[in-house]
Amino acid sequence: MNTAKVFLRRVCAAESPEQWGQAAQDVLEASQTLEFIRKRDLIAVKLHVGEPGTTTFLPAEVAAGVVRCIRAREARPFLTDSCVLYSGPRSNGAEHAEVAARHGFCLERTGAVFVPADGLEGNQERIVGIDGNHFREVGVAALIADADGLVVLSHATGHLSAGYGGTIKNLGMGCASRKGKLLQHSDTKPRIRRDACTACGACVEACPERAIMQDAQGIAAIDDPLCIGCGECIAQCRSDAVRFRWDSASHAMQEKMAEHALGVVRHAKGRLTFLLGLVNLTQDCDCMGCRSPIVARDIGFAVSSDPVALDQAAFELVRAAENQTLDKLSYPLLDGAHQVEYAERLGLGTRRFELIEV
């Protein structure tokens, strides 16, 4: 059975964003996984610029470290991400670019500009054939598919519906077109328990799709066809009245995400690598527009040419530091490891890895 190499550069407590950027650059160079880059290639750096209100996304200086590596090879980097499903500034290309600039993802701080990956309205995609169990083809954001190569810069966090979000999620959900994201969320529609609802209305206000109605007593209910499964209502409800159907929804979404990740990797034909930030390890992903609690100590930056090995390493590194994996520290009812196991079964990579500290 194959074993993948995972390179790790540890960081100390309270290092600056500039030190994180240098750590990212050092581990990328040490990994020698950028050899696919040729002179003048247009290289996409797929990242997350952070939802407004979030402060724990990977700072622009980390992207700057990646950009320096690409420019050192005389290639042409650009920063990119796809539109989100829920309404808000990151749901269209123009405002997404504004958020990127406000959060420092600009030429001055990173050495590259942000270009939306799937156009103004999230509908520019390339269809890639795969041999999955849920899908025979998936939609990849056009610029990510069209680039000459890809550096996938991900942030390891907990996740409201997947339990864990890291490399596979950034590839599968983050690189998917809007249609692809909708297909991945098709099973993750929450339910509101009438007996637990206190009629406060917070979920109604938070729902980006106006999919929640209140009856005459103020008790909330979700209109399924309108719901995109974003999970905002779960985050807002203080009465624990809104829940996913944990039995099937999370596993199905993780599998669909892994199949979309497979589409991105297949299309790139080896012209990509993966960098994972194991810092600011928060309960929620960077899409939540609020401060999310830190659930584990900073570890460092890891690189691999195998996305499955990299996420498996994240599980094991956090467990070694905290006696518990990131999904269990964040959402104990969820099994975030399912995406990694399923991705391995799909042939996306291996969970067996050799850790090389640099």
Looking at the Cβ atoms of 230 and 346, the one nearer to ligand SF4 is: 230
Q: Does 229 bind ligand SF4 (CB under 6 A)?
A: yes
Does 261 bind ligand SF4 (CB under 6 A)? Our answer is: no
Stretch that binds ligand SF4, among 10-18, 36-44, 208-216, 282-290 (CB under 6 A): 208-216
* Single-letter code of the amino acid located at 248: S
CB-CB contact of 57 with 79 (8 Å): no
Contact status: 191 vs ligand SF4 (CB under 6 A): no
**Residue from 55, 47, 57, 60 nearest 105 by CA:** 60
CB 272 to ligand SF4: min, Å: 31
| Closest to ligand SF4 by CB, 244 or 301 | 244
Contact 258, 339 (CB under 8 A): yes
Map residue 272 onto helix, strand or coil.
strand
Question: By CB under 6 A, is residue 232 in contact with ligand SF4?
Answer: yes
Q: Does 231 bind ligand SF4 (CB under 6 A)?
A: yes
Answer yes or no: are the C-beta atoms of 164 and 287 closer than 8 Å: no
44 binds ligand SF4 (CB under 6 A): no
Token pair of 17, please? Answer: 């964003």
Q: Is 44 helix (H, G, I), strand (E, B) or coil?
A: strand
| 282 CB-contact burial (10 Å; exposed 0-12 / middle 13-18 / buried 19+) | buried
| Whole-angstrom distance, CA of residue 287 vs CA of residue 93 | 16
| Residues 140-179: x where in contact with ligand SF4 by CB under 6 A, - otherwise, as a string | ----------------------------------------
Give dist(CA 15, CA 273) in Å, integer.
25
Residue of the chain from 228, 249, 258, 279 that contacts ligand SF4 (CB under 6 A)? 228
- Parallel, antiparallel, or unpaired for β 294-296 and 242-243? unpaired
Judged by beta carbon, residue 108 or residue 247, the one nearer ligand SF4 is 247
User: For residue 139, what is the enclosing H or E element?
Assistant: strand 137-141
In the set 202, 321, 356, 358, which binds ligand SF4 (CB under 6 A)?
202
Which position among 94, 107, 120, 199 is part of the footprint of ligand SF4 (CB under 6 A)?
199
- Can you tell me which of 117, 147, 203, 287 binds ligand SF4, judged by CB under 6 A? 203
Q: What gap in Å lies between CA 231 and CA 326, rounded to an integer? A: 19
Nearer to ligand SF4, 192 or 262 (CB): 192
193: exposed, middle or buried (C-beta count within 10 Å: 0-12, 13-18, 19+)? middle
Name which position in 106, 227, 355, 356 contacts ligand SF4 (CB under 6 A).
Answer: 227
Q: Contact with ligand SF4 (CB under 6 A): which of 87, 91, 236, 350?
A: 236
Give the number of residues in contact with ligand SF4, rule: CB under 6 A: 28
Residues of this chain that bind ligand SF4 (CB under 6 A):
190, 192, 197-203, 206-207, 209, 211-212, 220, 222, 227-233, 236-237, 239, 241-242
